[in-house]
Every structure is written in structure tokens, then in C-alpha cells.
A = this chain, B = another copy of it.
Amino acid sequence: MSVFDKAIDLQPDGDGRFRGSTVPEWANMVGPFGGITAAALVRAIQLHPECHGDPIAVTVNYVAPIADGDFDVETKLVRTNRSNQHWIVEQHQSGEVKTTATAVFGVRRDTWADAELAPPPALDPDGLAQAESPLTWFSNYDIRYVDGAVPTIEGTASASSTTTLWVRHNPPRPLDFAALTAVGDIFYPRVFRRRGQFLPAGTVTLTIYFHASGDEITAAGADYVLGTARAHQFTRGYFDQTAHLWSRGGTPLATSHQYVYFKG
């Protein structure tokens, strides 16, 4: 079982409850990488016997730091409509809420479609260096920066918050909705890029809109995903961060938005 699959491996515990455990390989500065927590919550809904369809939109709120060890995920099916389903999810440890989420799942159907936003120009990943990081979870991915790599300690401020990168699992693992959820949180905090330095920062809320169907995600395989992220406003201890993700072939996969707390 891959280190990703271990982290989202949940055991049913009755009544929409699931049991999981943190995996040391996903450690971030404090607790696990936020993307892997989001992926586990999405997986919990997928494991629910009444789950119908695929993820359409998910919002994950990071309430309190997750400790190493076991956690419970409580999924509540709010309502099933003709074409979609609404969920509320809570992740608990020792009786305390650590994460909350709401999700819309549904069955998609063919309509008029248009990719109004095109993928940014990017050199082929094979010609780019694999990025390194002291963060434990980072080595579960093969990340290749096209533009806007993590600033070095002596980095300089940038007028642009944009980073563009290629990412795939390391070792390669086929993409699915849970894996795509985690990739929605792959970009380091934009304030690092603007200020050219590391600062205390943490996502308080993450929203992902899934554009791709299950078939399109399967077609993306274990190949690199292209992503580009930027911020719009930094103000009074918070900034926003938006990322767009495409398959290597150019299929729009997802858009993610987050609001991030920072000091400095």
C-alpha cells in the first residue's frame, strides 16, 4: 500500500463513522500536510454506503492541530437531491473537533463546456529539476517548479505571488479524487513568495471545485499534473490563494481556493 493510500485508509465504525490514523511520512511543520487531511475526509464520504456520485465541491476548515495518532471521521448525509448530495463532515481526536468540512457530491452530465482559462505555458517536466524541501511530506511528491520556487533563506521579495509547477506522486500513483484533493493544497503559502522568506502561516479554510469527471481523472493516470497558484489580497494577518490544476494533456482538473493565516 502506498504512503498516500495508508494515510487515507479508513475503517468503518458504524453510523457514518470511520477510523483512521496519521502517518508519519505526511508530517508538516505542525500536524500532517493539510492536503492529506482533506483527502481523508473526501475518502470517508466515498466509503459511506449512501454516497452517490463523485466530488463536485468540498470545503475543509482546519480547526485545530491534528496530533499524531488515531482520528475519527464522522460523515453526515444532509440530503440527496436528484443530481447532487450534500454532506457535513467532522474529524475528531479525543473528543475534540480538529477539522470540519462540507461537500457536494453528484452525478455529472454532458452540457455545453468551455475551458475559459487555458493552462499557463510550461517547460516539459522531464527537463526540470525535482524540488527538495526539509518538510517530511514533500518527498511523497515529485514537484518540479516551472516558475516561483520556494524562496531560499536569502531569497528576495517578489512583486508576483505566482508559482507554476508540475506535481505527481513519488513514487508515481494514479490520480483519483482523493489524490486530486490533496494536490489542491500543494502550493506553499504565497506570502513566502511575495516576501522572499518563510513566515508562520497556516490554511484556515480550503475549497476545491472539481471540474474533471472520474474518467478524465483516470485518464490523467500517474503522470504529472500542472498547477498555477497566486494570491489576490494580503491584509491584516490573512491572504487568499487560488490554484488551477490541469492534467498533462491540458484537461481542467480542479480549482482550489484557500484563506491563509500568517504572521509578519
Contact = CB atoms under 8 A, between A and B. Distances in A.
A188 interface: no
Given A61-B104, A207-B207, A209-B259, A236 B86 contact: no
B240 A242 contact: no
Interface in A231-264: 231-238, 240, 242, 244, 252, 255, 257, 259, 261-264
Given A86-B100, A100-B78, A113 B61 contact: no
A96 B81 CA distance: 12
Contact of A236 (B111, B238, B242): B111
B117 A233 contact: yes
A115 to B, nearest CB: 6
B263 A111 contact: yes
A101 B104 CA distance: 12
A207 B86 CA distance: 15
A59 B56 contact: no
Interface string A169-181: 0000000000000
A59 B102 contact: yes
Given A63-B79, A78-B63, A255-B232, A237 B194 contact: no
A262 to B, nearest CB: 7
Interface in A177-226: 191, 194-195, 204-205, 207, 209, 211-213
A103 to B, nearest CB: 9
A257 B259 contact: no
Given A59-B205, A61-B104, A235 B79 contact: no
A195 to B, nearest CB: 7
29 contacts: A57-B259, A59-B205, A61-B86, A61-B102, A61-B104, A63-B86, A64-B79, A78-B90, A79-B97, A83-B237, A86-B97, A102-B102, A102-B205, A108-B238, A109-B236, A109-B237, A111-B235, A111-B262, A111-B264, A112-B264, A113-B235, A115-B234, A117-B232, A211-B235, A232-B252, A232-B255, A233-B252, A240-B255, A257-B257
The 4 closest A-B pairs by CB, nearest first: A108-B236, A117-B232, A59-B59, A233-B252
